[in-house]
Structure 1
């Protein structure tokens, strides 16, 4: 079973101005995976794909959201 470690959060907005938070997480390598992999998802559990430095695509909605700023992790 894969383990995930959160690395960053991004505050984003869609075309309609709807806010969302996208979480960047790294899948920690185990025996089956040779190197860590970065995945993205919203706080609502929807899978996201990073398009470029400023945009994510929320896959189930087909919505492109723009990064407003990166949020600091709480320790």
Structure 2
């Protein structure tokens, strides 16, 4: 099965309030507690892409810049 699209709505994927709390807890742990995510985030940002944009905006500036920049190419040997 392919992963859901960024435009997929959490409710259409079967997410309920208990799953929303579980997702919040996992994201909090994944990001090392750098921010607190409200348990209602999946209802406030109902699509995967919407929640992802919100999460990037919550990261400290340096980490957000790293997440949005592409890795540089290795230097060519002389």
Structures share fold, TM-score greater than 0.5: no
Larger fraction in strand: 1
Larger fraction in helix: 2
TM-score bucket (shorter structure):
under 0.3
